[in-house]
Amino acid sequence: MSHDPEQQLLKAFVAHTRSPSDPAPLLQICEALVRVKRDEQMLPWAEKGLALDPRNRAFVHARARALRLLGRHAQAVQTWLDFAPLDWSPLFYQARLGRDLYLSGDTAGAVALLERALLNPAEDDDADKLRVHKWLAEALLSTGDARGFKHWIWRNLGDSGNYRYSAVPMWDGQRDLRGERVLVTHQMGYGDQFMLYGSIRQWRAAGAEVMVTCDAVIHSVIAASLPDLRVVAARRPMVRRSPIDAETLPAVQAFAPTLQATLLHLPMLAACDQPRPEPFFEAYIRAPVAAHGHAASWANALRAQHPGKALVGVFWDCSQRHARELSNKDRSWAGLRSLPLEALERLTTDPQLTSRVHFVSLHHPVAEIMGGSPRGNISHYAPGIMTFGDTAACIAHLDAAISVDSGVANLAVMSGKPTAVLVNPAGEWRWGSNGMRSPWMRDAHVLRQATMGDWDAVVSRAAQWLLQR
Structure confidence by residue, pLDDT tens digits, 258-278: 999 999 999 999 998 989 999
pLDDT for 469 equals 83
How confident is the model over 371-390, as a mean pLDDT? 94
Percentage of the chain exceeding pLDDT 90: 94
Report the pLDDT value the prediction gives residue 3, as an integer from 0 to 100: 76
Q: Domains in the chain, please, with CATH?
A: 5-155 (1.25.40.10), 181-269 (3.40.50), 289-468 (3.40.50.2000)
Q: Which residues pair with 314 in a beta bridge?
A: 361, 402
Neighbours of 19 (CB within 10 A): 12
69 CB-near residues (< 8 Å, 6+ apart): 39, 40, 328, 329, 332
Identify the CA nearest to 197 among candidates 409, 391, 414.
414
What gap in Å lies between CA 194 and CA 45, rounded to an integer?
Answer: 41
Answer whether residue 196 shows pLDDT above 70: yes
3-state secondary structure of 15: helix
DSSP assignment letter at 215:
-
Three-class DSSP category at 84: coil
The pTM for the full model equals 0.96
Residues in the chain: 469
Q: What is the rounded average pLDDT of the residues 284-310?
A: 95
Calculate ∠ Cα 269-270-273, nearest 5°: 135
108-134 tens-digit pLDDT: 999 999 999 999 999 999 999 999 999
Nearest to 363 by CA among 326, 331, 411: 411
CA distances in angstroms from 67 to 24, 63, 79, 381, listed in the order given: 21, 6, 9, 39
pLDDT of residue 2: 61
Residue-averaged pLDDT of the chain: 96
